[in-house]
Structure 1
Amino acid sequence: MPPTHLHRAWDDPATRRAWTKLLIGAALGQILWPAAWLGLLAWYVTVSAPWTLWLFFVPLAYTFYRAFLQWAYWQGAFRARRLLRQYPWQVYETPESGIGNLPGVRDGYAWLKFPNPDASDQPVTMVMHSHVRSLWWGGRLGRRASAERKAQVREIWFAGDPRCAAVIAVPAPRHFHVLRQPPSKEQGVADALP
């Protein structure tokens, strides 16, 4: 059971530990992916047989991609901390969810519906845009997911405002994921994120 009695999710030691793990993962990735790219490049240069380029092309391309992608992990971690410091955890048992098949949601994107703070009878849809962490969630929210996998997201912890941004997690908390609404014409990007 999450510490719903706390004023902010950040006040929970388990939340701070989970966020620290998220930050350490981002820091390690920032060090290890460029090191892996440089190591592969150095190994290729020392082997220097032309036919080995095909062996190194895919790993070099992937490590180069991940080295630049790591900045998104840093941003996500600090965005999550900002939301966790502002909002308390709320618990939702089996919120309405799915993958695609909803107006305004691209095919293959997972989504969840949460109550609107202003009008609880009008739910707000939050979409998980393509991201490495959204793969874990998408594999459990879709109709094709096994009962065992769906049970992993039966209870969802939520900290935020579904109209702009939120952090979701599974109990403990684990598998943090930041969801953001796209800025509307009336509000700017700065207004969309608390």
Structure 2
Amino acid sequence: MPPPNHPTAWDDPATRRAWNRLAICAVIGQILWPAAWAGLLVWYVIMSIAWTLWLFFVPLAYTFYRTFLQVAYWRGAFRARRILRHHPWQVYEAPESGIGNIPGVRNGYAWLRFPHPEAPDQQVTMVMHSHVRSVWWGGRLGKRAKPARKAEVRTVWFAGDPCLAAVIAVPGPRHLYVIDQRPSYRPAPTSEVRDA
């Protein structure tokens, strides 16, 4: 499925629908995770039996963690909207990708390589540092992923600048993910790239 031919990705109604789903999930999570944490805490206080602490510890800790993690979902959603409003979708067929196994990238971190915008013969590595929404991508980019799962990310839609930040998605668009460039992976300045 080719991306729509619009000046920016945001001009595409399907992109706006995908972003709305992303924002709605962030809103629902912002309501449900704190409610679940408070509910578990109240239930624990009502029970007030020492042995029940062990039953509630893991769910309480996880819901507390997810309550504070929701801020990252909000930031990611609004950052995605900013990028989508300024860049069109581009299509990359089977971009080089993997999990770990490149210098400076910790094991377990998924990465993709895209052409440098000013030097197409050079590649820019973008690493998925945030685990927010990266589980889906990580499960499909690694060498050990099953062929059917790898096929789901064979075509990647890309909106942004690989030297700074971008939104990636699978055709549709689906599974929007903000991927940003860290200083340690930032490509050399244009003059150095041309001299290389």
Superposition deviation, residue 127 in structure 1: 0.4
Q: Do the aligned partners of 1:84 and 1:160 also contact (CA within 8 Å) in 2?
A: yes
Amino acid at match of 1:44: Y
Fraction of identical pairs, as percent: 74
Q: Do the aligned partners of 1:4 and 1:90 also contact (CA within 8 Å) in 2?
A: no
Superposition deviation, residue 47 in structure 1: 1.3
Amino acid at match of 1:156: V
Aligned counterparts of 1:130 and 1:78: Cα–Cα separation in 2: 15
Aligned counterparts of 2:156 and 2:114: Cα–Cα separation in 1: 11
Aligned counterparts of 1:141 and 1:12: Cα–Cα separation in 2: 27
Amino acid at match of 1:14: A
Paired position in structure 1 for 2:194: none
Amino acid at match of 2:31: I
Superposition deviation, residue 107 in structure 1: 1.4
What is the number of equivalent residue pairs in this alignment? 185
Paired position in structure 2 for 1:150: 150
Q: Do the aligned partners of 1:99 and 1:142 also contact (CA within 8 Å) in 2?
A: yes
Amino acid at match of 1:127: V
Paired position in structure 2 for 1:171: 171
Residue 45 in 1 paired to residue 16 in 2? no
Residue 94 in 1 paired to residue 111 in 2? no
What do residues 146-185 of structure 1 show as CA deviations (whole Å, max 9, x unaligned)?
000000001100000000000000011111110111247x
Describe how 1:1-194 pairs up with structure 2 within 5 A: 1-183=1-183
Aligned counterparts of 1:161 and 1:179: Cα–Cα separation in 2: 10
Aligned counterparts of 1:48 and 1:58: Cα–Cα separation in 2: 17
Aligned counterparts of 2:36 and 2:68: Cα–Cα separation in 1: 13
Aligned counterparts of 1:104 and 1:118: Cα–Cα separation in 2: 24
What do residues 72-104 of structure 1 show as CA deviations (whole Å, max 9, x unaligned)?
000000000000000000011100001111122
Aligned counterparts of 1:173 and 1:165: Cα–Cα separation in 2: 18
Q: Which runs of 4+ in 1 moved over 2 A?
A: 1-4
Paired position in structure 2 for 1:190: none
Aligned counterparts of 1:3 and 1:95: Cα–Cα separation in 2: 16
Amino acid at match of 2:152: Q
Give unmatched runs, 5+ long, in structure 1. Answer: 187-194
Paired position in structure 2 for 1:189: none
Q: Do the aligned partners of 2:3 and 2:157 also contact (CA within 8 Å) in 1?
A: no
Q: Structure 2 vs 1, CA of residues 124 and 4 (structure 1 numbering), >3 Å: closer, same or farther?
A: farther
Give unmatched runs, 5+ long, in structure 2. Answer: 187-196
Aligned counterparts of 1:130 and 1:12: Cα–Cα separation in 2: 26
Q: What is the SS of the residue equivalent to 2:133?
A: helix
Q: Provide the TM-score with structure 1 as the length reference.
A: 0.92
What do residues 17-62 of structure 1 show as CA deviations (whole Å, max 9, x unaligned)?
0000000000110110000000001111111111101000110011
Q: Structure 2 vs 1, CA of residues 13 and 4 (structure 1 numbering), >3 Å: closer, same or farther?
A: closer
